[in-house]
Structure 1
Amino acid sequence: MSECAVGVLLAAGAGTRYGSPKVLAHDGAWLRVAVQALRDGGCDRVVVVLGAAETSVPDGATAVLAPDWQRGMSASFRAGLAAASNAEYAVVHVVDTPDVGPDVVRAVLDAAAETGLSRAVFDGRPGHPVVLAGRHFDAAAASASGDFGARNFLRGRDDVVAVECSQWATGIDHDYR
């Protein structure tokens, strides 16, 4: 059975610059906020991609392990898309943007209906979440490498709907404490 939208939360990294895995930041508050944003923003299911740190995930989410997480975000991205393989859309989000809430997720998910590709932008700066229609999963996963998930796939495409979201959040990812 197909699901409409699956939230894919990338949270497998070691957080080297941050000093610890970000999935554990603030006693798991970033994890809880991101899962809630995906659920309240319209995702039928949420998968949390883990790797460097294993932790319990909030109710309403399931954990997926990226066994090769050390290879970078691309490994987490591929594991997350594989876990969402039956979905019409994957809403790819990252754990280290704690001010991104359900309004951002909903707006970007709604915009994907136009072309099957959308992404949040904050004051014109590309950010997360990124929404991919299922027909793009294989090509997006194949283009991912190192610390780049969908970036290479999205670069230069004219069918990606950019959704300005600065009215709701900064979208700043926290790489340092």
Structure 2
Amino acid sequence: MATLNRVLDAIETHIGFPRSRSSGISRRLQDAGLLPSGAPGVAPELDQRDACLLLATLMSAPKLHEARDHARAYAEMTPGGSVLSADAPESVPRSALAYLEVQSEVVIGGPADDVRGHRFEFVHGWRELSVHTPEGTVTRFVLPGALASHQQAPHRIAGVVRGEAFANLMKDLF
């Protein structure tokens, strides 16, 4: 567990996202009940899932009033936009957020070489997370039913997090 302030400082250090912007978005997520609020005199403590949710929301660059919707979308986005049933194989990540959480556990639990070569792209204009591996495979997480192979706007702008920066962030925090 890490305090919210420590997570925000680490994101600024390792990812380069300015603290001035991340504080407002984290407050919106706390107000929506998506991040812990803490108590009077007690700093909110975030686990790996919370840190991944905050990072994904920040990197998708929402307007302040859209932060809640962006955060909720990461818990719903599936690989390729597939609609997963209850009997889907366990090897298929259930959401983009679950995928990021597993990657953070890989980093914390052992050598982070599996993640260091990755590139995570958090698309700004629509809900998408693209994961690029060193082998050249790309996994796109989009909302169920959306076509992952089709660009949803004329221009694609994304916040990029290198796997090495992600690994350093998670190792620093947890």
* TM-score greater than 0.5 by the shorter chain: no
> Which structure shows the higher strand fraction?
1
TM-score, with structure 2 as normaliser = 0.37
More helix by share: 2
- TM-score of the pair, normalised by structure 1: 0.37
